[in-house]
A = this chain, B = another copy of it.
Amino acid sequence: MNLLKQCPLLAGLKEEDLQRVRAIGIPKKVVKKEIIFSDGEEAKGFYIILSGKIKLYKISPEGKEQILHIVSAPDAFAEAALFLEGSYPAFAEALEDGQLLFIPGREFVQLIERNPKLSINMIVSLSQFLKKFTALIEELSLKEVSSRLAKYLLDLSLKAERDGRNPMEVELDLSKSQLASKLGTISETFSRTLGKLKTKGIIEVKKRRVKILDRRSLEDLASGLKI
């Protein structure tokens, strides 16, 4: 219940409305690697994550994967499918065991319709998403892998700084092959690209820990400059 309050989608709702969400929600346990829904599957509702981590992704016929989004508690996912009356636009898979709350679409839409705060939350959340996707499109179409990787490391660094940790030493929040898929490439290319940055003395890598030695070069790379 406390977690629900922290979900951005439900932030600022009256206790009474939260209760209602809680009431219509159906708890669902998921185990690592479990497919929660598939691309094209009929969308009957969305999910709120109470614990665990979920990967939303697309797959090509040849099996290459593109991660669209990684979500963890207390976020929601697949809310956008609600108003597309139709199908989920991607796969969702649990990256760890976890606990979800399934919110049936029909009932939630009614809640939205009579709750302005909720619709604003929804609009904000969709807008943010859209912005993230715009950035991803830009990167996929206009930037090369080294640039996307540099950007990713800088983002991690910024996040570390906000959390009061050392911004010059970050910990990758996903496995390297998952990161590759998030950056729109494959693990081999990711590995080689990381290697290049090491060779150039820009970073130092120990397992999942990356030490940033030359932040300036990373910034140049991220902005698309070749170095």
Contact = CB atoms under 8 A, between A and B. Distances in A.
Prevailing SS type, chain A contact patch: helix
Interface string A20-56: 0000000000000000000000000000000000000
Contacts of A112: 119-120, 123
A10 to B, nearest CB: 15
> How many identical chains are in the complex?
2
A114 interface: yes
B142 A223 contact: no
A142 B80 contact: no
Contacts of A83: 120, 123-124, 127
A194 B141 CA distance: 20
A172 interface: no
Given A61-B225, A113-B120, A80 B127 contact: yes
Nearest to A114: B116
A130 B129 contact: yes
Contacts of A137: 58, 66, 68, 133, 136-137, 140
A179 to B, nearest CB: 14
Nearest to A79: B127
A131 interface: yes
Nearest to A133: B133
Given A58-B137, A61-B224, A142 B84 contact: no
Contact of A123 (B60, B126, B223): B126
A224 B60 contact: yes
Interface string A73-88: 0000000111110000
A125 B112 CA distance: 15
A143 interface: yes
Contacts of A129: 130
26 contacts: A58-B137, A58-B142, A60-B141, A60-B142, A60-B143, A61-B223, A62-B224, A66-B137, A66-B142, A80-B126, A80-B127, A81-B127, A84-B127, A84-B131, A89-B131, A89-B134, A89-B135, A112-B123, A119-B120, A123-B126, A126-B127, A129-B130, A133-B137, A137-B137, A140-B140, A140-B141
